Structure 1
Amino acid sequence: MDVVALEKTEVYQGRYRVERTLGAGGMGVVYLAEDVKLGRKVAIKQLRSDMTGNSAEARFRSEAQLLARLNHPNIVRLYDVLEEDHNIALVMELVEGVTLKEWMRERSTTLAEKLDLLMQICQGLGKAHCLGIIHRDLKPENILVTNDGVAKITDFGIAKALDCDQQLTREDHIAGSVQAMSPEQLQGTSLDARSDLFSLGSIAYELLCRSKPFERGDKSALAFAQQITSKPHIPPHQAWPEIPKPLAALLDRLLGKRPEQRPESAERVFEALELVRKHGIDINTQQYSETVTQLLIKPRRRRGRIAAVLSGVAILGAGIFWGWQTYLQLPSQYIAILPVELSNEVYMGKEEENLVTAITQQALMSAPARLKSSALVSYTPEPGTTHEQQLQELKHKGVTAALLARLNCMALRCNIELQRINPIDSEVKQRTNFTFISKKHQEAQYTIRNAVIELFPSDYQRESYSETKMAEADYAHYLAILTKSYADVVLQARDFLALEELIAKYPRNINLYSLYSLCAFEKFGKTDNDEYLSKALRILTNAEVSKVDEVAILEAKLLIKSVSSDEEGFKFILNKLQSKGHPSAHLPAQYSRFQYMKGDYIQGLTYAKQAAALKPTPQNLYLVAINQMGVGDYEATRKTLRDITQQYGEFWSAYALLAVIELENANLELAEQAILTIPASERSWRTNGNLGTISFLKGNYSQALQTFHSILKSSPNNLQMLMQVAETHIMLSNSSSASKNFEKIVELSAQSTDLRSRRYRAVALANLGQIPASIALIKDLLRDSPDDTYVKYSAAQVYALAGEWQSATYHLEQLFEQGMGAEWFVLPIFQQLCTVSQAPKALQKKICP
C-alpha cells in the first residue's frame, strides 16, 4: 500500500474512497477520503513508502495505540487502523479548519477568543496527561482549529506513555521540533507532563504576545536549543506592554526552566485562564477590562476575597489556586486566642487555677479545627499590653476573629463568658455565658469548646463527632503533659510514651493526636531530633483508620510533613485540605516552609510572598526572609527583617535570622549584637550555635568548642554541631578528633535524604578521602538546589579537597559576589588556594592573609 497505490484506489478495503492529498510531513502523507460505509469525510494518515522500517512503523503503531486511548473533543479522534504488506495508515477525524499557526496569522481575534482556545488546549492536554500520555511535540502546527472555533490536538507521532520504554526515541534523541521542546527534553533527561506545559507556554506566549518567547534569528538548531535551556525568555510585557499581569505571571511560570517551577498540571493552567476569562473580560468589548487588576487594588467585602485569590494567580502563575474553592464556599476565618482573663475574686488554689486556665485555653484553641474554612493563628501578646492594643495587633495580623474567655470561679463552680470579637472594629459579634464545675476538667473542656463553636454562624459548623471520655486519672496525665507544652518545655521520651499509651487507649480523641504532633514538631525544631516526627506520622495514619476528625488529622500531618523531604506526600495532604475549603493563606505558608526545607528557595519565596500578601503576619514575612536569604539576596532579607522588627517588635526569630545574615557577611560584631538582643531563654540551639560560630571566626577555637559541645550534650546526634566541632579540631590541628566526628556524620546521615544531611555527608566524605562518593553527592545537591549558599560553600570545600581547583574557585567567586566574608575561608583547604598557580589573583587577594 504505497502512496501511489492509495491515491489511485477508488475504494480502499471496500470502505474508504480517497479524494485528494491534504498535506505531507516528515513521516506521513494525509489524504482526504470518504467513509462510504458511514457516509462521512475522514482524514487518512499514511506512512510514507520511503519511511518504512522498524522505527518508523513502530512510531506509527505507537501513535495508533495512544490515540485509541484518547476520546476527547479537543483531541483529533482515531477511527480505524489500516494495514497491508507491512504498510500502515490511520483513519482519523477530519477537522475542517486550519492549523493554529494559520489561525494566528490569518485572523484578528479578541483576547476572549484566544483564552477560549487556550482553555480548550488545556482540556485536551489534561485528558492525555490523565492517561499518562505526554505529547512531546506540542506546537501551533499540531493544533487544529475548526471553523467553529474548536481546538483539537493532533500528531501524537512521538508521544510517549509514562509507563512505556523510551526505545522509540533513542535512535533520534531530539525527535520533533526544537521550538516545541522543554529544556529537559532538549537535555535528554526524564520527562513528565510538565514538559508539555513548557510547550504550551510557548504556544500561549505566541498567541497572546504575537511573537515567540525565544528569538531564533539565524541560530543553528543546536545554538537555539542551548538558548532555550540556558537563557531567559523575552519578558511578556516587553513583547506586549499591555499584557494583563495575571497572564504575564502565568507565561513566566509556564516557561520556567525547571519542571517544578511550572504549574503542576494542565488543569491548573485551565483554572487560571478561566479565572481571567470570567472576571477580567469586558462582556461588551470582549477585551481585558482591568476587572482583575481593580480587584487587586480595591478589595472590599466579598470582592476582597476574589482579590486575594487573583493576587495569588499573579504571584503563582496559576500554580495552585489557594483559596479559590474557599471563596466559592465560605470566606476564610483566621482565628486568634486572647489570653484567658481571670476575675480577681477567684477562690481556688494556684494549681487548680492554672489547670482551669490551661483547660480553657486548650478548648479555645481546638475549636477552629471543628469549623469549616478556618485556621488558628498563633498569637502571644507582649506582657503589659492592653485589650485594645492586643486587638490592634491582631488587626495588623489579618485576624478575622478573636476569641476571649473571662472566668469568675468560686469554690467548685466557674462562670465563663465567651466572646467572638472582630479585631477590625473591636466589636463583639457574639457572646455566651454559662457555668461549669471546675473539678470536672474533661467535661469543662468539651463544654467550652462546643460553646465556642456555637459563636460562629451555622454555615461554618462542621458535623460533630463523638469523643470517648478519658478516665479521670488518664485525663490528669494528659493535662500534666499539656501544661508542660504550654510552659514551652521540651517533652522527654517518657512524656511521648505516655501520650502514645493514651492514644492507644482513646483512639478517637483528637486532642491527644494534636498534642503529640505539636510536641514532636517543637522537639524537632529545638533539638533536630526527628525520631518523634516519624512516630507522629504513623500515629496520625492510624487515626485515619479510626475515623478521627479528618481535617484536624490532615492539619497535624501537614505540620509534620512540612519539615520532611516527602514532597509527594506533602502535596497530597495539601490538596486534600484545599478540597475541604481550608483557608487560603494557611496552605501556601506551609508549602513555602516545605520548599525551604527542600532547598528550593525560589519556589519557597514565591509561596511565602503569596502567604504574606493574603495575611501579612510576622510569621509569613519571616518565611519571605528565610527564602530570600536562601537565594543569597542579603539586602532584600535585611529589608524584610527590618519591616518585621519595626512592625511587630520583639519577634525574636527576626533577630536570629539577622544574626545569620551578618554572620555570613562576616560582620561579627553586628551578628553578636543581634543574638544578644534575644533573651537567653528565647534562643534556640541554632542561635546559640551561631555564638560558637562567631567565636570560631574570631579565632577563639577553645570557646567555640565549648559552645558546640554544650549543645551536643542535649542533642548528641546534631549533624551541624558535629560538623562545626570537626572543623574546629582541624583548626586546632587535632586531625584524629576531626576524623572521628566526620565518621560519625557519615554514619548518622547514611539513610537521610534531606538537604542539610546530604550536604554534611558530602563534606565529611571528602574530608575522609572518599572523593568520588563525595563529588557524586555534591553534584546531586547542586542540581537540586543550585541557589543555596551553603550548598555552594560545601561544593567549594569538596572540590578543593579533591584538588579540582577550577570548580572550587567557581563556587568561591559566587560566594564572594553575593557578599560572604573572607573570614569564612580560614580552613586550611581554602588557604591552599594561596599556593595554587591557576587560582585567580583577585580571589587569592581576598582569601590569603
Structure 2
Amino acid sequence: MSDNESAKDPGEEAHQTAQATSGQAPVILINSDHYQVQKKIGQGGMGQVYLALDTRLQRTVAIKVLTPLGHTPQEPCAGTSDDKEAHFQQALAEARLLAKLNHPNIVQIYDVIVSGKHDEQALENNQQQIALVMEYLGGKTLQQFQHQHVTTLIQKLQIIRQIALGLAAAHENGIVHCDLKASNILIDLDNKAGSDSSYQPHGEMAAKVKIIDFGIAQSSHNGQQDIPAGSNTSGSNSGYGSWTSMSPEQLSPNTSEQAVDFRSDLFSLGIIAFNLIAGRHPFAAGYGSDSAQQIAQAILDNKPCNAKDIIPQLPLPLAHLLNQLLAHQPLDRPTSSHKVAERLQQIIIALTQQEILAEQTLPVGEDGKVLQPEKPEIPATNVPESQEQEDKPNKLAVTIAAFVIFLITLTSLFYQDIFAPTAPKVRHIAVLPPTLSANSKIADIQKDLVVATIDDAIRQSIINTKHLRLISRTEVSAFNEENKGNINSIGNATGATDIITTELNCNNIRCNVTLSRLSSMEDNNKDSENGNKKWTVFAQRSWPTQVDGFNEIFNTSQANISSLYPDYAETYINTSPINEQDFLEYIELYAKVQINGENNDENLKRLQELLTRAPYLYAGYSLFREASLNLYNETKDTAYTKQLEQVMQSVPPEYKYSLFQAIDAFVVAIATGELDQAQQQLEIAIQRGIDNSTLTELQAAFYINNNELPLAVQHFKTALQLRPSAKLFYNLALSYYWSGDLTNAKKTLNQLLAITPTKYKANQLLAGIYLLEGNLELAIKAYEKVVKTNPQVVDLSNLAIAYALNGQYQKSFTFAELAVQKGPNNPASLLNLADAEFILGKKEEAEEHYRQVIDLHQAKSDLKSWLETAQAYVHLNDNSAAIKALNQAKRLAPTNGEVSLTAALVYALAGEQLSALSQVEEALAEDIGVVWFNLPWFDKLCNSEQFNQLMIKAGNLKRCQP
C-alpha cells in the first residue's frame, strides 16, 4: 500500500481523501504486539491507512482499518442493512478471501486482524474493527503517475495489461473489485532503474503495477470463466465506488435488480485505459468541465467517445478493444480479463515490431543526406575472408524478417479483432437423409437403425455446436421430395450455406460410410446473390463401422461431422454417456417417429419411460416435444401438452438451464397460444446465447401469432437477409396478407414461386388472394388445380366461396359439404356451408351450422375467430353480439380489408345502412374485390344511390339492375 493512496481524482466527488499529519502515532483498536503503528498515511470511504512496522519479520507494512460499523460512508451503499453483526461477518469473510490472493499485480495482504470484543455492545459502540495488513509500497497512484510522466503508447498498454492480469487473478478467485479507478492502481517504480529511467528499450517497463483497495470487493462465488453470450453470472451490487468509474449496472437506479460481476470491472478498466491513452474520460463532454454526476449520467445514457477518434494512428484492434470494454451491455464486453490481457499482448508485440523496423532506417542529417553509421574497428583475426562474410549478420535479412513478423502479427490482429471480433460466421446446414448404395444387402430392421443412428448423430452434433444452424427436417424434406434430391434446388429453397449428405454401402456385418459437406462458397460466388448458388464438395470423410454397435456408430459419426467444421468447436452443452440398451431403444423410437412418422400414444409412452430411466439422453427431449405437439395438432387434446410440460419439468439441470430448453418451451407456448410464456422464453433464450438468425425467426413467429403484423413483417424481412429460404418467403407473404397488404403479398409469393414453382402453400395462398381481390376466374382455376393435387379442407371451402361469388350456388353447396365431411369441426367450412344452405333456402340446417361456428370459437381471441363469429351471430339475428365480435376484430386489425368486408356484411344485415356503406367504401379502398358485394347479403343496399355509385365506380355496372 502506498503513502500516496489518498490522492484525489480530478472532478471526483465520491471518496474524499486527506493527507495525514506525519509524526503523530494514531490510536487504533488493533493488537499492536506485532505491529508498531508509526503514522497515518491516508484515508478513504472504506477506512484509514497507517504505516507500521512488523516487529516479527522486521518489514514495513501498511495497515488499513476498515471504517467502523455504523459510520456512514461518503457514498451510500445500495443494499446496506442495519444488521451490524451481518455487516461484520460479511466484511470478515471478504477480508479472508482477499488474503488468499497472491499475484504480482495485486497488493499482497499479509494478515487479517480482528480486534475488540465480539459482542453486541462492542458492535453498537463501534469498538470492534477489522484491519488488513498488507505490503507497503513507495510508488505512486496511476492518477499521479499519469500527471507526472510522459509515456509511450506501448508503455501505457503494458500498464493496462498488468491491471488486466491482476483482475484475472481476482476474478478466478471469485472476487470482483467494484471500485477500480486510477487512484486504486499503484505504480511501483524500480529503484534500481531510477525514477527518471524506469523504462527498457522498446518500451519495456521496469515498474510493477499493483491493484489496491479491494475494501469494497464482493465475492461472485463462482469465479471467472469464459462465458457464452447470453450467460448471466450473478452477484450483488455495491453502492460504494466512484461515480465516474462505475459500470452502468452499478449506477442503475434499479441497482438491487442488476447483476454485478467481473464484467463491471472490465468496464472500469475500459475507463482507465481510455483515460490513460487519450488523456480524457471517455464519457466526459469536455476536458475537466464535467461534474461526477454529469459523467455518471452519460455512462447510464450510453454516450462514450469512440476510441477510433482518439488519434488517427491508434491501431484499429486497440480501438475495437477499448470500445468493447466500454460496451453498455455486459454481454457485449470481453468474456474474461485473461482475454483482454492476451489481446493487449498481441497489440504490444505488433507495435514493438513496428518500432524495430523504424530503428532499421537511417537518420537524415541537416543537409538532407542520409547519415551512414560509423563502423566500429574490428580486431584483426585469422578467420578467412569467406568465413568472415558468412559470420556477419545480414542486416537486410534481419530487417526483412522483422518486417515479415510485424506483418504477420498485425494481419492476425486485423482479422481477429476487426473482421471476426466475436464469433465465426453462422452456417445454415441442410441435412439430407442417409442413402444406401444400390448393391447394399442389409436387413430392413438393421438398415433403419443404422440410418437413424447416423442421421441423429449428425443432427445432434450440429444443433449442439455454436454458430451452426440446423435447418428443420420438415423444411428440408418438403423440398427434397419435391426436387428428387436435386442439390441446387434444395439449397436455393432452404437458404442453406451447407448441405450434408451421407452415403452407405452396407451388408449385414458392416457399413462403409461416406460423409460429405457441400458448400455454396457463397462468399466468393457472384451468382449466389441471384439465388443461383454453385455447390461443390468442400470436405469429405469416409470410415467403416460395424452395424450392431450403435453407440459406436453414433460417436464416430459425431466425431466425423465435427471434423468437417474444424473452426466450430464450441458447444452449448456437454453430453453424458448412455448405456447401449437405452440408446438402442432411443434409436428405434427415433426411426419410428422421425423417419417413419409414427406419432402415436404407444411410442410417446415408451419415450417418456425411456427419459425417466435415462434423463441425460438430451436428444430424447426434442423428440418427445415433436411427437407430443404433432399429436396435439392432430387432436387438439391438451392432455398431450400437459404431459409434455411434466416431462420438461423433470429434465436434468444441464438441459433445464440450456438454450435448447428455452427454445423447446417457446415452441410449446406458441403451439398452445400461451404468448406471455412464449415471450418470457424468448428473453431466457437471449440470456442463454441464442444466435441472431434463430432469434429473429422466433421473434417473427411470436409477432405473427400475437397479431403484431408490422413487427412480423419487419422480422421476417430481416430473417430473409440472414437466410433467404422458401419457408421465410412464405411467412413474410402470409404476414403481408393478414395485414391487408395484398400487393406485397403477391410480390413475395411470386419471388417464392420463382424458386420453387410447385410449392403447395404458395399456390394456395396466391389463390386465396385472387379470391379476396374478386378475380374469380383465376381463383377458381387455381383452387381446382390445388384440390386435384392435395384436397385440403380449406381449399375445398374456398372453392365453394369462389363458386358462390360467381353465382354458382349449387356447386358452392357441393364443395362446402365436401369440406365439412373432410373437416367436421372446421369453423370456416361450417360457415361456408351454412351460407350456401341459407342461400338455397335450407334455413334450419343453416342456423344449426351457424351455432356450431359460434361454439367452436368460444374462448378464442384471434382475428379469424372474431370475424367468423360476427357473421354467424348476424345470420342468427343476434345483431348486438355480432357487432361486439366485429369490434374485437377491428381492435386487432383496424385497416384490414377483410375486416371492412365483414363489417359491411354485418351492418347491412343488421339494417345499419350508413355504417354498411362506409365499410363498403373502405373495403374497396383496401383492394377487396367488388364481386364480394354480389352476395345476397348486400341486396338491401341497392336502394342507396351511394352504393350504386360505388359499384359503378368499381366496374360492377350490373350489380343492382333488375
Given the two structures, how large is their TM-score scaled by the length of structure 1? 0.57
- Separation (CA, whole Å) in 2 of partners of 1:834 and 1:675: 31
The answer to whether the 8 A contact 1:392-1:423 is kept is no
Distance (whole Å) between structure 1 residues aligned to residue 926 and residue 439 of structure 2: 60
1:734 deviation in Å? 1.9
Q: Does 1:757 align with 2:865?
A: yes
Q: Quote the residue 1:595 is aligned against.
A: 703
> Who is 1:235 aligned against?
none
Residues 328-348 of structure 1 deviation map (CA, whole Å, 9 limit, x = unaligned): 344322111134232232111
Give 1:481's aligned residue.
592
- Residue among 839, 849, 852 paired with 1:741: 849
Q: Which amino acid aligns with 1:586?
A: T
Q: 2:429 aligns with which of 335, 346, 352?
A: 335
Deviation of 1:614 after TM superposition, in Å, equals 1.8
Partner of 1:794: 902
Q: Which residue among 506, 511, 532 is the counterpart of 1:414?
A: 511
Q: CA distance change for structure 1 residues 417 and 518 in 2, over 3 Å: closer, same or farther?
A: same
Give 2:498's match in structure 1, choosing from 380, 383, 401: 401
Does the 8 Å contact 1:373/1:583 carry over to 2?
A: yes
> Which residue in 2 is equivalent to 1:806?
914
Q: Is the 1:632–1:788 contact (alpha carbons within 8 Å) kept by the matching residues of 2?
A: yes
Does the 8 Å CA contact 2:582/2:610 hold for their aligned counterparts?
Answer: no
- Kept in 1, the 8 Å contact 2:897–2:928? The answer is no
Letter in 1 for 2:546: I
* 1:488–1:151 CA distance, 2 compared to 1 (3 A): farther
**TM-aligned CA deviation for residue 568 of structure 1:** 2.6
1:697 equivalent in alignment to 2:697? no
Contact 1:722 1:745 in 2 (8 A): yes
Q: Quote the Cα distance in structure 2 between the aligned partners of 1:327 and 1:757.
A: 49
What are the equivalent positions in structure 2 for 1:425-504 lying under 5 Å apart?
426=535, 428-439=537-548, 444-445=553-554, 447-449=556-558, 451-456=560-565, 457=567, 459-466=569-576, 468-469=578-579, 471=582, 474-475=585-586, 478-479=589-590, 481-482=592-593, 485-486=594-595, 491=599, 496=604, 499-500=607-608, 503=611
Alignment partners' CA distance in 1, 2:491 and 2:621 = 28
Cα separation, partners in 2 of 1:373 and 1:561, compared to 1, 3 Å? farther
| Cα offset, 1:445, TM superposition | 4.5
The alpha-carbon distance between structure 1 residues 699 and 278, as it changes in their structure 2 partners (threshold 3 A), is: farther
SS at match of 2:476: coil
Alignment counterpart, residue 826 of structure 2, candidates 704, 718, 730: 718
Whole-angstrom distance in 2 between the partners of 1:327 and 1:636 = 37
One-letter identity of the residue aligned with 2:576: S
Cα offset for 1:529?
Answer: 3.9
Superposed CA offset, 1:289-321 (max 9, x none):
xx99xxxxxxxxxxxxxxxxxxxxxxxxxxxxx
- Is residue 615–residue 652 contact of structure 2 (8 Å, CA) maintained in 1? no
Normalised to the residue count of structure 2, the TM-score between the two structures is 0.51
Whether the 8 Å contact between 1:563 and 1:594 is mirrored in structure 2 is no
Could you say which residue in structure 1 is the equivalent of 2:470? 376
Indicate the SS of the match to 2:720. helix
Partner of 2:649: 542
Query: Counterparts of 1:280 and 1:642 in 2: how far apart (Å)?
Result: 45
Any residues of structure 2 matched to 1:38-57 within 5 Å, and which? none
Q: In 2, are the aligned partners of 1:369 and 1:375 still within 8 Å (CA)?
A: yes
SS at the partner of 1:753? coil
Cα distance in 1 for residues equivalent to 2:704 and 2:698: 10
Cα 1:448–1:688 shift into 2, 3 Å: farther
Q: Is the 8 A contact 1:391 1:423 kept in 2?
A: no
* Paired residue type of 2:589: Y
> CA contact under 8 A between 1:333 and 1:583: conserved in structure 2?
no
For 1:345, which of 427, 436, 439 is the aligned residue?
439
* Counterpart residue number, 2:664: 556
Cα distance change of structure 1 residues 149 and 762 upon mapping to structure 2, 3 Å threshold: farther
Q: Letter of the aligned partner of 2:655 in structure 1?
A: V
- 1:597-616 matches, within 5 Å, as 597-616=705-724
Within the alignment, does 1:774 sit opposite 2:871 as a pair? Answer: no
Instruction: Tell me, in whole angstroms, the C-alpha distance in 2 between the residues paired with 1:398 and 1:774.
Output: 45
SS of alignment partner, residue 620 of structure 1: helix
Structure 1 vs Structure 2: percent identity of aligned residues? 20
SS in 1 for 2:655: coil
- SS class of match (1:408): strand
Question: Following the alignment from structure 2 to structure 1, what is the Cα–Cα distance between the partners of residues 537 and 682?
Answer: 33
Following TM superposition, by how much is the alpha carbon of 1:718 offset from its aligned partner in structure 2, in angstroms? 1.8
- Post-superposition offset of 1:545: 6.2
Stretches of structure 1 that go unaligned for 5 or more consecutive residues are 1-67, 73-119, 133-144, 154-265, 286-290, 293-323
Q: 1:742 to 1:500 in 2, by over 3 A?
A: farther
CA–CA distance in structure 2, aligned partners of residues 666 and 726 of structure 1: 21
Deviations 1:793-842 (A, max 9, x none): 33333333433333333332222122222332344432222235775742
Deviation string 1:240-293 (CA, Å, 9 cap, x unpaired) is: xxxxxxxxxxxxxxxxxxxxxxxxxx99xx78x88xx869989769xxxxx99x
How far off its partner does 1:843 sit?
A: 4.6
Q: Distance in 1 between matches of 2:717 and 2:577?
A: 39
Listed as ranges, the matches of 1:651-690 within 5 Å are 651-675=759-783, 678=786, 680=788, 682=790, 684-690=792-798
1:656-700 superposed Cα distances (whole Å, 9 cap, x missing partner) = 111111111122232243345558555654334333333333344
C-alpha contact 1:419 1:432 (8 A) present in aligned 2: yes
SS of equivalent to 2:918 = helix
- Contact preservation (8 Å) 1:625, 1:637: yes
Alpha-carbon distance in 1 for matches of 2:917, 2:307: 52
Q: Following the alignment from structure 2 to structure 1, what is the Cα–Cα distance between the partners of residues 880 and 434?
A: 60
Describe the SS at the equivalent of 1:435.
Answer: strand
Amino acid at match of 1:423: S
Look up the equivalent residue of 1:448 and give its one-letter code.
S
Cα distance between partner residues in 1 of 2:510 and 2:428: 32
Where do 1:570-589 residues align within 5 Å?
A: 570-589=678-697
The 8 Å contact of residues 339 and 404 in structure 1, kept in 2 or not, is answered as yes
What is the rounded CA distance, in whole Å, between the counterparts of 2:292 and 2:906 in structure 1?
A: 53
CA contact (8 A) 2:586 2:620 kept: no
2:307 and 2:809 mapped to 1: Cα distance?
A: 63
Tell me: CA distance 1:124–1:769, structure 2 relative to 1, closer, same or farther (3 Å).
farther
| CA distances 1:727-770 after superposition (whole Å, capped 9, x unpaired) | 22222222222222222222222222333333333333333343
Give the distance between the partners of 1:151 and 1:565, measured in 2 at CA.
49
* Pair 1:492–1:739, CA change in 2 (3 A): farther
Question: Contact 2:854 / 2:869 at 8 angstroms: preserved in 1?
Answer: yes
**8 Å Cα contact 1:508-1:546 kept in structure 2:** no
Q: 1:126 to 1:724 in 2, by over 3 A?
A: farther
Structure 2 residue 623 is the aligned partner of structure 1 residue 515: yes
Equivalent residue, structure 1, for 2:126: none
Contact conserved, 1:630 with 1:787, CA < 8 A, in 2? no
Whole-Å separation in 2 of the counterparts to 1:662 and 1:759? 20
Are the structure 2 counterparts of residues 648 and 506 from structure 1 closer, same or farther at C-alpha, using a change threshold of 3 Å?
Answer: same
Aligned counterparts, 1:146-295, within 5 A:
148=289
Q: Closer, same or farther in 2 for the Cα pair 1:463/1:628, shift >3 Å? A: closer
Answer yes or no: is the 8 Å Cα contact 2:739–2:896 preserved in 1: yes
- Evaluate the alpha carbon distance shift between residue 688 and residue 555 of structure 1 in structure 2; reply closer, same or farther with a 3 A threshold: farther
Structure 2 portions without partners, runs of 5+? 1-74, 80-244, 258-284, 314-318, 321-417, 523-534
The amino acid across from 1:349 in the alignment is A
Note the C-alpha offset of 1:629: 1.7
Write the deviation string for residues 106-147 of structure 1: whole angstroms up to 9, x where unpaired.
Answer: xxxxxxxxxxxxxx9x97999568999xxxxxxxxxxxx999
Q: 1:584 to 1:606 in 2, by over 3 A?
A: same
CA positional deviation for 1:590: 2.6
Change in 2 beyond 3 A, CA 1:439/1:699 = farther
Of structures 1 and 2, the larger Rg is shown by 2
Residue of structure 1 equivalent to 2:209: none
Alignment of 1:348-359 (within 5 A): 348-350=442-444, 352-359=446-453
